[in-house]
Amino acid sequence: MLEFIENYFAELWFLLLEMAPWLLLGLIFAGLLKVYFPQKHIDKYLGKSDFKSSLNASLLGIPMPLCSCGVIPTGISFYKNGASKGATNSFLISTPQTGVDSIFATYSMLGWPFALLRPIVAFFTGVLGGVLTNLFDKDKIAEQNSPYSNFKIDTVALGKNEENCNDDSCDCHESEIADNRHSIVKAADYAFIELLQDIAKWLILGFLVAALISVVLPNDFFSSFRGLGLLEILVILAASVPIYICATGSIPIAAVLLLKGVSPGAALVFLMAGPATNVATMTVLGKTMGRKSLIIYLATITGGAIAFGMLTNLLIPGDWILSKVMHIHGNGEGHEMLPKWVQFVSAVILIVSISGGFFYSKFNKKNKMAKVEGITVKVSGMTCSHCEATVKRNLESINGITNIIADNNTGTVKITGPKINLSKVKEIVNGLGYKYDG
């Protein structure tokens, strides 16, 4: 038993050392992307029911470090604000499969073939899903089907209703004006506090599960599935669809599965379907965009996963891809370009950032809530900082509301303003896929 525990923690530490430097690099790029290409500039590319909008949505979604829990409310907000169903589905399909942080982390654990394959597959499946949605689920006028028919939701600007705000000096921009920090500080805050906290629990889960699989299962455990082709891929797909794990958290598990005998195509299926699908996502999507869009969403992801998994096994030699993974894991040397001290320091920084960010985020929001006078309501379903931002942006678009503080840890939203219409608040919250609990 003692030997098992020692082996488990040794494998856990090895996985952390391998992934930490590249994950930190990915987080830095994600922070810079957030600051220099903010979300408020995105929706203008997603408005039409044509191929170009689907193409734009997929291209915009690939580098974004949004996992499934964050991409759903973001995509729904785009749709409620006028994005076409095709563009929305394209964004929802391509975004959670990868991101700038997970691309770097994929390289660290699986080598450059998978680091290239993931964004390519995400792009093609995203565009395909958008095109199919445009063909088979034509857009209706958004206001006819929306609970927001009496006013425009402002999911882009961090402020008031667009009709009452036409210049940069008005109060609707107070959220942007209030943040006078240097761009690098804002990028670091987003990368190492908001984003890292969003993916932390899934990243930790991924490491724990991957280390357990590595220690418990024999090295050739999945080898018997090799040669079964479609059956092997379907088994992995069936296990991947209902569960949730983020794009980054899925990487160490996929790496260990490969080392235990799973084919590269089946590993790619897990990397695609695991982050992009889960029961909660499917429920919200079906309620908001309708059954047809949900069917197309699922068919594109599952069909794309099967097709690209089979093509990977058919066109790319499995032994060649496995050799890239073995070069990283098999000899224990990892990427030769990174000295051991860099890996060690990166691992320590990652651990400190995750633990420190957890306490900082928790107590910082608690202090903000305590200092502000207003009405506090319960909202369930918020799971990350992107959920908080989505709720904040949309509720601040209601006339009479001046400020919103949302906290996904406690499931509460504090609302301040001279005239608060709680029925409108409920409409907005429920329409975004969350649940207003009062």
Q: Using an 8 Å Cβ cutoff, are 208 and 12 in contact?
A: yes
**Residue 235 resides in a domain:** yes
Average confidence score pLDDT of the chain = 77
- Measured CA to CA, the distance from residue 78 to residue 358 in angstroms comes to 29
The yes-or-no verdict on residue 307 having pLDDT over 70 is yes
Q: Using an 8 Å Cβ cutoff, are 325 and 267 in contact?
A: no
**Residue 95 resides in a domain:** yes
The pTM for the full model equals: 0.64
pLDDT, tens digit, for every residue of 226-237?
656 788 888 888
Residue 362 tokens read as: 């928790």
Cα 366–chain centre separation: 25
**Residue 423 resides in a domain:** no
**Residue 230 resides in a domain:** yes
- Measured CA to CA, the distance from residue 192 to residue 354 in angstroms comes to 8
Q: How many CA atoms lie within 13 A of 371 on its CB side?
A: 9
Please report the pLDDT score of residue 351 as a whole number.
92
Please report the pLDDT score of residue 128 as a whole number.
94
The yes-or-no verdict on residue 11 having pLDDT over 80 is yes
Please report the pLDDT score of residue 136 as a whole number.
87
**Residue 434 resides in a domain:** no
Please report the pLDDT score of residue 162 as a whole number.
36
Q: How many domains does the chain have?
A: 1
**Residue 72 resides in a domain:** yes
326 versus 265: which is more confidently predicted? Answer: 265
170 versus 240: which is more confidently predicted? Answer: 240
**Residue 134 resides in a domain:** yes
**Residue 383 resides in a domain:** no
Among 72-81, 95-104, 151-160, 277-286, whose mean pLDDT is lowest? 151-160
- Domain extent, residue 129, equals 2-150+174-350
Please report the pLDDT score of residue 380 as a whole number.
87
- Measured CA to CA, the distance from residue 281 to residue 360 in angstroms comes to 29
Please report the pLDDT score of residue 147 as a whole number.
39
Among 172-176, 271-275, 393-397, whose mean pLDDT is lowest? 172-176
